[in-house]
Amino acid sequence: MMSIRQRKGVRAADPSGDDAAQQEDGAPEPKLPSERHTSRRLWKILSFTVGGAVALCAGLLTSVYLATLHENDLWFSNIKEVEREISFRTECGLYYSYYKQMLQAPSLAHGFRGLMYDNKTESMRTINLLQRMNIYQEVFLSVLYRVLPIQKYLEPVYFYIYTLFGLQAVYVAALYATSWLLSGTWLAGLLAAFWYVTNRTDTTRVEFTIPLRENWALPFFAVQVAAITYFLRPNLRPVSERLTLLAIFTSTFVFSLTWQFNQFTMLVQALGLFALDSLDMLPAAKKNLKTGNFLHRLGKLLLHLLVVLCLTLFLNNMIKKTLNLKSDEHIFKFLKAKFGFGATRDFDANLYLCEEAFGLLPWDTFGRLSDTLLLHAYVLVLGVTATMALAAALHHLSDSPTQGHTGRCAVSLGPDTAYNLTHTVAFGALALSTMRMKYLWTPHVCVFAASGLCSPEVWGSILKVARLHTPARVCVVRHAVPLLTLLCLGCKFWPGVMDELSELREFYDPDTVELMHWINSNTPRTAVFAGSMQLLAGVKLCTGRTLTNHPHYEDSGLRARTRAVYQVYARRPPEEVHALLRALGADFVILEDSICFERRHRRGCRLRDLLDVANGHMMDGPGENEAGLQPAGHPRFCEEIRRGLPAYTALFTRVFQNKTFHVYRLQKHVAGPPAPSPSGQAR
C-alpha cells in the first residue's frame, strides 16, 4: 500500500484551500528553502554593515575621547612649544626628539645620516639609532609629514599625537572584531569597546605617555590576534586564508618594528600555540606526539615541552656568548631576583625591582575592574571556557588516533576560542607577576569577557547544567545579558565621562621650563650634559645638547654609563665623581633635589640606597643593613657639594639653580688619579 510522507527540510503544504488545489493540479510548490537562504543572506549583509559601522564609530569616538582628555589635562593647544615638549616625560621625550631631528634636517638624506651616525645621544660615541632603538615609526612619520601638503594646516607635534590617537581607533576596532568573531554577534564587540573605555586606567596610558613604544605596538598586536582568531576558524576559503595570513604577517612585522619587547610577547604566544597543537586542539596535521594511550601521550607532551624550553635556553646562551651580546642580561638578573633565586646587589636589577611598574599587580586593580562588572563577567566566562577546554583536552589525550576515535566529546571548543583562552591565561599570569604587563592583558580581558557573555556555547553549557537549556532560551540570554550590562554601565559611567570632558586643567612645571631656557641661552650647542636618565631625555628634546646617558636602558654600555653618572648621588669623594664624569666627556652635571632627598620610595629602594648597596656601603637612616656592607668613608656627594667647600669648588662651579635643579660646570684640565669604576675600584 502506497503512502505519501513529508520531505525532510521542506514544510508540508496546507491541505486546505488554494494550496491543496495547486498540489492536486500538479503546480510547483514555492521554493521556501531558497527564500529562507536569501533572507538569511540579506540579514547577514545588514548585520555586517551595521556592525562594521558601529565598530568604526566606536574606534573614532574612543580616539576623540582620549585626545580630548589629553587636551583638557594639559591645555596642550595653548601652552608654549617647550612646555609641550617637556610634557613628553622620560623616554617619551627621547623618542619624539628623533622625529623633531628628522624634521629639522636640511634634507631626508641628512636626517637619515644623522640617525645612522649619531654622536649626540651618547657622548664620545657614534651609534646607529635605527639599529639601537625602535624609532622607525618616528622616521616614517617625519617622512610623511615632509611629503604631504599639510605643513600650513597642522603643526608637527599635532601630526604626531593625532597619529597615536588615531591608532587607538585601530586598537578598539581590532578588539571589537575579535570579540565579534568569537561570539558571532557585533553586540559583543560593542561591549568590549565600552569596557575598554570605562577601564582605561588599566587598559591604556596613551593619554599621558603618548610616544611610548607600546602605544605604537599594541594596536598592531590586537590586529594580529584578531587575524589569528579568524584564521583558526574552520572551512575558510583559500583566498580568505591567504589574505588572513598576509594580515598576520604584516601586523606581526609592524609590531616587531615598533616595540623592543616584542620577542617576549611572541614567545608567550608561541608557547600557547605549541600547547594547543600538542593537545590536538588546533587544525594541524597529525604528529608522532599525538599517538599512544593517555599516560603515554601526556608523558611525551611534558617531555617535548621540557626539551623545547631547554633547547631554547641553550641556544640563547650560546648565541649571546658567541656574539658577546649583553643587551638583555639585566632582564634575567631582574627575573632571577624577582622570583627568589637569590638576593642581589646588582644596581640594574634592583632598579627594576624597586619600580612599582615591575612589581606584582596591585589588588586595587581588581577593585576597579569589579566596579565596571568586567571582572565578574571575566571570571564567569573563564571558568566555563576553561572547564570546556579541560574536558576537550582530556578527551583528545585519551582518544588515540591509531585505534580510532572511541567516542565524541560531550563538549566542543573551537580552535579560535581555545587560542584566546590560552592567550588570556598566559598574559594574565604575566600581568599578575609584573604590573607593567597588564596593558597586554586587560584589553583582552574586555574581549574575552564580552565574547563569552554573547557566546551560545557558554550560555548553552550553563543552561544545560541548570537543566534549562533550549535554543530559544540561549538566544534570549546571550543577547539580553550584554544589553543589560551595557545599559547598566551607561547609566553608571555616563555622568563621570561628562564630568571628565568638562574638567579643564593646565600644564605647569616652571622649574623645568626655566632650566631648559637657561641651557638654550647660556651653554654652547656642543656642551655635554650629565644627569638623571629621565631629565636628560627632555634636555635632548628641548635643547639638542649632547647627553652622557638616556632612558633607553637596553644596552650594557649605556647601563654602565648611567651607573657612573649616578655616583653624584652616592657617597664618593669629589675627585672620583669628577673623574667619572669627565671620562664621559661631561661639561655640565644637573643635580635634582627630588633624587638627592628622595622620599617617594621606601628605605632600600631610594636611588641613593641602591647606589650605596652596589658600592658596598651601608644605607643611611634608621633600619637594618645587609651583612657585609661597610660604612662609607665619604659624605654623600649631592648633599656635600651644596656647602661650597674648597674640595668641591675646585672641581665644580655652580652656574644655575632653582627650587628643583642645580647645574654645575666641571672644571677641565684638573690633574688627579685615573677615573675609578662606578663600584669604587680604580681602573
- Count CB atoms within 10 A of the CB of residue 183: 26
3-class DSSP state for residue 83? helix
Residue 343, pLDDT score:
65
- Listed in sequence order, the residues at least 6 apart from 50 whose beta carbon sits closer than 8 Å to its beta carbon are 186
Strand 652-657, strand 528-530: pairing = unpaired
Query: pLDDT tens, 324-359?
Result: 655 566 566 666 666 666 667 888 888 888 888 888
CA distance 301 to 250: 32
Query: Torsion-angle region of residue 186: left (phi > 0), alpha (psi -120 to 50) or beta?
Result: alpha
Highest mean pLDDT among 10-19, 303-312, 432-441, 674-683: 432-441
What is the predicted pLDDT for the residue at 600?
84
Give mean pLDDT, residues 179-199: 96
Q: What percent of the chain has pLDDT over 90?
A: 65
How confident is the model over 187-193, as a mean pLDDT?
A: 96
Q: What is the mean pLDDT of residues 443-447?
A: 97
For position 682, what pLDDT does the model report? 37
**Amino acid 21: pLDDT:** 38
Long-range contacts of range 294-297, CB-CB < 8 Å, 24 or more positions apart?
294/394, 294/397, 294/398, 297/397, 297/400
Rounded to an integer, what distance in angstroms lies between the CA atom of residue 12 and that of residue 7? 8
Own/partner long-range contacts of 289-297 (Cβ < 8 Å, ≥24 apart): 290/396, 290/401, 291/400, 291/401, 291/402, 292/400, 292/402, 293/398, 293/400, 294/394, 294/397, 294/398, 297/397, 297/400
Annotate 620-652 with three-state secondary structure.
Answer: CCCCCCCCCCECCCCCCHHHHHHHCCHHHHCCE
Residue-level pLDDT at 412? 74
For residues 683 and 669, give the distance between their C-alpha atoms in angstroms, rounded to a whole number.
19
Please, which residues have CB within 8 angstroms of residue 302's CB and are 6 or more apart in sequence?
Answer: none
Cell output for 608: 641613593
CB of 136 closer than 8 Å to CB of 112: no
pLDDT above 70 covers a percentage of the chain that reads 85
Q: Where are the beta strands (DSSP E) in 536-649?
A: 546-547, 588-592
DSSP string for residues in 412-439: ---HHHHHHHHHHHHHHHHHHH-GGGHH
Helices (H), 184-208: 186-198, 200-203
Cell of 5: 510522507
Check pLDDT > 90 for residue 26.
Answer: no
pLDDT value at 161 more than 90: yes
Task: Answer yes or no: is pLDDT of 418 > 90.
Answer: yes
How far is residue 512 CA from its own chain's centroid? 29
Residue 20: the pLDDT is 41
Q: How far apart are CA 386 and CA 297, in angstroms?
A: 21
Q: Which of 37-41, 166-170, 284-288, 430-434 has the lowest mean pLDDT?
A: 284-288
Q: What is the pLDDT of residue 228?
A: 95
What's the grid cell of residue 465?
A: 547544567
- What confidence tier does 12 reach under pLDDT thresholds 50, 70, 90? very low
Which has the closest alpha carbon to 592: 604, 600, 602? Answer: 600
Do the Cβ atoms of 205 and 212 come closer than 8 Å? Answer: yes
Helix axes 91-104, 108-116, angle to 10 degrees: 140
Cell, residue 263: 620577542
Cα angle 267-270-276, degrees, rounded to a multiple of 5: 145
pLDDT at residue 391, rounded to an integer: 87
The pLDDT mean for the chain works out to 87
Sequence-distant (≥ 6) Cβ neighbours of residue 683 within 8 angstroms: 674, 675, 676, 677
Shortest CA distance to 195 belongs to which of 365, 480, 443? Answer: 443
Query: Residue 38 corresponds to which amino acid?
Result: T
Residue 261 binned pLDDT confidence (cut-offs 50, 70, 90)? confident
Residue pair 78/176 in contact by the 8 Å Cβ criterion? no
The model's pLDDT over 278-312, given as tens digits with 9 standing for 90+, comes to 777 877 533 745 555 666 766 777 777 787 778 77
pTM for the model: 0.87
Q: Count other C-beta atoms under 10 Å from residue 599's C-beta.
A: 7
528 vs 347: which has the higher pLDDT: 528
Q: Can you tell me the mean pLDDT for 630-649?
A: 94
Are 418 and 282 within 8 A, CB to CB? yes
Cell 484551500 belongs to: 17
CA 4 vs. chain centroid, Å, equals: 66
CB atoms within 10 A of CB 174: 26
- Give the tens place of pLDDT for each residue, 205-220: 999 999 999 999 999 9
Exposure string of 375-395, with b = 16+ CB inside 10 Å and e = fewer, is bebbeebbebbeebbebbbeb
Q: What is the pLDDT of residues 96-107, one digit of tens each?
A: 999 999 999 999
Rg of the chain in Å (alpha carbons): 31
For 468-496, the pLDDT digits (tens) are 989 999 999 999 999 999 999 999 999 99
What are phi and psi for residue 548, nearest 5 degrees? -90, -30
Q: What is the pLDDT of residues 39-71, one digit of tens each?
A: 788 888 898 999 999 999 999 999 999 999 999
Q: What is the mean pLDDT of residues 584-600?
A: 94
Q: Is residue 409 scored above 70 in pLDDT? A: no
Q: According to the model, what pLDDT value does residue 6 have? A: 43
pLDDT of amino acid 345: 81
pLDDT at 1 over 90: no
Three-class SS string for 309-338?
A: HHHHHHHHHHHHHHHCCCCCHHHHHHHHHH
Give the containing element (helix H, strand E) for 665.
strand 661-666
Asked if residue 435 lies in contact with residue 357, where contact means CB atoms within 8 angstroms, the answer is yes
Edge-to-edge strand ranges of the sheet holding 652-657: 546-547, 528-530, 588-592, 661-666, 652-657
pLDDT of residue 285: 39
Cα 216 to Cα 163: distance, rounded to the nearest angstrom? 9
Q: Which of 115-124, 161-170, 350-359, 488-497 shows the lowest mean pLDDT across its residues?
A: 350-359
252 three-state secondary structure: helix
**Phi, psi at residue 125, to the nearest 5°?**
-140, 145
What's the pLDDT score for residue 142? 97
Spatial separation of the C-alpha atoms in residues 350 and 333, rounded to whole Å:
9
Quick one: cell of 521? Answer: 641661552
d(CA 332, CA 142): 35
pLDDT band at 449 (very low <50, low <70, confident <90, very high): very high
**653 forms bridges with which residues in the sheet?**
665
pLDDT of residue 245: 94
